[in-house]
Amino acid sequence: MSVVQNGEEAPTSYFIGKKEDIIKAKRVLKFMNGRDVLVIYHEGKFYAMDAHCYHAGSSLENGDIEEINYKLCIVCPSHKYKITLAEGEGLYKARDPKEKNPTPCWFSKGIKQRVHTVLEVDGDIYVRMSEERGWIESDYYQSEKQRQERQKCAEICAVDEGES
């Protein structure tokens, strides 16, 4: 659907839900335009990003949110990778070997997780998919093949849980 924002028609956007419902839920997972997208409400702002972590594809849905280097990050539950909410930047802590007494500090790996734009129109929330054309590592986990792999794993887990 196209939405009108500030008098201009925005590119195709996907309806997520009523603003008040998303504020209550805090996190919403949606499949749109062939991607699993996680919409997050945190401290008065909305964010949207690919739902599967760029590192190994785990779901970010239940990741904690922390402020690191003045940036809000989601922390992947699986291996604790830190991803900035606004940009999708991967952050890591390391010591600079060029310093004499290096203390660990935060560095950026660059953009690793594809983020999308959240729009609010008359109390409704929409997501406009990222138009960034280059490859972003989280793209790998949005393929049909990866979706089928996740489905298979979920089925195996369900059988295992049923047997125990």
What are the residues binding ligand FES (CB under 6 A)? Answer: 53, 55-56, 58, 76, 78-79, 81
Query: CB of residue 105 vs ligand FES: minimum separation in angstroms?
Result: 20
> Quick one: 76 or 125, whose CB is closer to ligand FES?
76
Query: CB of residue 31 vs ligand FES: minimum separation in angstroms?
Result: 19
- For the record, the structure tokens of 103 come out as 């203390």
* Nearest alpha carbon to residue 28 among 110, 137, 118: 118
> Residue 5: phi, psi to the nearest 5?
-135, 125
Residue type, 13: S
Query: CB of residue 64 vs ligand FES: minimum separation in angstroms?
Result: 12
> Quick one: 16 or 76, whose CB is closer to ligand FES?
76
> Quick one: 3 or 55, whose CB is closer to ligand FES?
55
Residues 6+ apart with CB under 8 A from 48: 37, 38, 39, 40, 115, 116, 117, 118, 127
- Using CA atoms, how far apart are residues 83 and 113, in angstroms rounded to an integer? 7
Name residue 52's beta-bridge partners.
Answer: 59
> Quick one: 113 or 130, whose CB is closer to ligand FES?
113
Query: CB of residue 109 vs ligand FES: minimum separation in angstroms?
Result: 12
